[in-house]
Structure 1
Amino acid sequence: MSALRTALAEPERPKDLQIRFIALGGSYVDVIGPGHSSDKHRWTCRGCQETSDRPEQDCLFRIRRGANDHANLCRAIPLT
């Protein structure tokens, strides 16, 4: 049971975490950046390691949509 609990434990939250989505497979998609008034946000999936589709960073409201879309499709499971 402890191995299962470890696999399902939420990973540490980065200091600049703005939003965290749970992906379809149980991993997490993190949106990181300085906050609402900035255009320096990115998302990263902790399961499949995919990131924002553009090399540049973007506004929180635009990045949020991409991160949520990825979370709704990604079946990667958390690897610990």
Structure 2
Amino acid sequence: MGNIQHSVAEPENVEQLYLAHLDWDECGLPEDPPHGITVPTTPSPLIPEELAALKSAINPLGHSESYGADIYLATIQYIQNILGQI
């Protein structure tokens, strides 16, 4: 399977594959690639009183039958209702 069906010839001189003259610290490759993503900070469309009402109305750690999707949708609907976007 895979490489067994398509064999690759071994190099004749393995010593030539070693790159002793290459300084890996100065090769230009990044030392540690960045992990994750950066999410920009955006201002809340809610005033402090509306945000307090949202926090009291919806518990983000509450029971969910759909891994939090129902809580997320309820939050979106609540905010849309406050902002008059429904």
TM-score > 0.5 by shorter chain: no
Q: Which has the larger radius of gyration?
A: 2
Which structure has more RCO (C-alpha within 8 Å, separation ≥ 6)? 1
Name whichever structure is richer in helix by fraction.
2
* TM-score in terms of structure 2 length: 0.28
